[in-house]
Amino acid sequence: MALEVQYLTFLSLLASGIVLGAVYDSYTVVLREWRFLRFLRPMVDLSYWICGLVVVFYLLMRINHADFRISIYLLLLIGWFLYRITLRQAVIASTVGIIMAIGWVLLIVWRVVNLLVIKPVWFTMRVVYRIVLLMDRLLKAMELVLLWPFKVIFKTAVSILRLLFQPLLRRLMVILSPYLNQAGQRWGLMQNKWKELTSFMSNWLIKKDDDDHPPS
């Protein structure tokens, strides 16, 4: 392997170790701060290792035609260790700062939307509801006022008709009462005949069954 390729491989693997360490700490901080995303941790870990392997393999393919050696893993480990002792605190602090800035921006956006959209819409709905409720009460009051004369007239007319037709109805009941009594008597006779018929049929069936199956 040429000396230039060796230096390029050395620097690329050190940089890869540093980047892998920074990415790992970054998404770990994100998942720690945003607890609602913690369920994604297994998927994110798997994606991290797959992407890391793909990136390292691509670099080796471009630099030394994927010539894997033990020194490659050692250089990655050295890069990761250098990141831990030099840049780790800065990366974690900057990630936390970015998360806080995003949260602050989202809070401002929420307050603006709440002030300019949600509250006006809610206020408008409440005003419309109160107007509809007021109109309903006014219409009910107007209904009582406007229909009151008609109610009085209707009650008066019913009372007058009752006084006029009550004697006629009594006379009609007196005339029809004999016919109604006869109809009731005939209905009672029909019920008695029906009972006698059903009793006769049941006795006949019982007797016939006894004749068909005499006791042994």
Is the distance from CB of 14 to CB of 78 less than 8 angstroms? Answer: yes
In tens, the pLDDT along 34-66 reads 888 888 888 988 988 888 888 888 877 777 666
Instruction: Return the percentage of the chain with pLDDT > 70, whole number.
Output: 89
Give CA–CA dist 124/53, Å, rounded: 57
Long-range contacts of 142-145 (CB under 8 A, 24+ apart): none
Please give the model's pTM, rounded to 2 decimal places: 0.52
* Euclidean distance between CA atoms 1 and 13, whole angstroms: 16
Residue 206: inside a domain, yes or no? no
Q: Is residue 120 a part of any domain in this protein?
A: no
Backbone angles phi, psi at 80, to 5 degrees: -65, -40
Is 94 within the bounds of a domain? no
Mean of the pLDDT values across residues 135-149? 78
**Cα–Cα–Cα angle for 9, 11, 17, rounded to 5 degrees:** 100
pLDDT at 66: 60
Residue 76 placed within a domain: yes
Q: pLDDT band at residue 67, thresholds of 50, 70 and 90?
A: low
Asked whether residue 81 is domain-assigned, the answer is yes
Structural domain boundaries, residue 34? 3-86
pLDDT, tens only, 93-134: 998 999 899 989 999 999 999 999 899 999 999 999 999 889
Angle formed by the axes of helices 41-64 and 70-86, nearest 10°: 120
Residue with tokens 């008597």: 185
Q: Is residue 18 part of a domain?
A: yes
Domain count, the chain: 1
In three-state form (DSSP H/G/I as H, E/B as E, the rest C), the secondary structure along the chain is: CCHHHHHHHHHHHHHHHHHHHHHHHHHHHHHHHCHHHHHHHHHHHHHHHHHHHHHHHHHHHHHHCCCCCHHHHHHHHHHHHHHHHHCHHHHHHHHHHHHHHHHHHHHHHHHHHHHHHHHHHHHHHHHHHHHHHHHHHHHHHHHHHHHHHHHHHHHHHHHHHHHHHHHHHHHHHHHHHHHHHHHHHHHHHHHHHHHHHHHHHHHHHHHHHHHHCCCC
pLDDT at site 68? 65
Q: Classify residue 114: in a domain, yes or no.
A: no
pLDDT given at position 107: 92
Task: Please give the Cα distance from 13 to 21 (Å, whole number).
Answer: 12
The angle formed by the CA atoms of residues 57, 63 and 67, to the nearest 5 degrees, is 60
Among 66-80, 115-129, 152-166, the range with the most confident prediction by mean pLDDT is 115-129
Q: Is the dihedral of CA 194, 199, 205, 208 positive or negative?
A: negative
Q: Does position 215 have pLDDT exceeding 80, yes or no?
A: no
| Positive/negative CA dihedral, 120, 126, 130, 133 | positive
Which pLDDT tens digit goes with each residue over 75-88?
888 888 888 888 88
- Percentage of the chain surpassing pLDDT 90? 12
User: What does the pLDDT average to over 153-182?
Assistant: 77
- pLDDT, averaged across the chain: 81
Query: Rounded mean pLDDT of 23-41?
Result: 86
Indicate whether 2 pLDDT > 60: no
Task: Say what the pLDDT of residue 108 is.
Answer: 94
In-domain check, residue 20 = yes
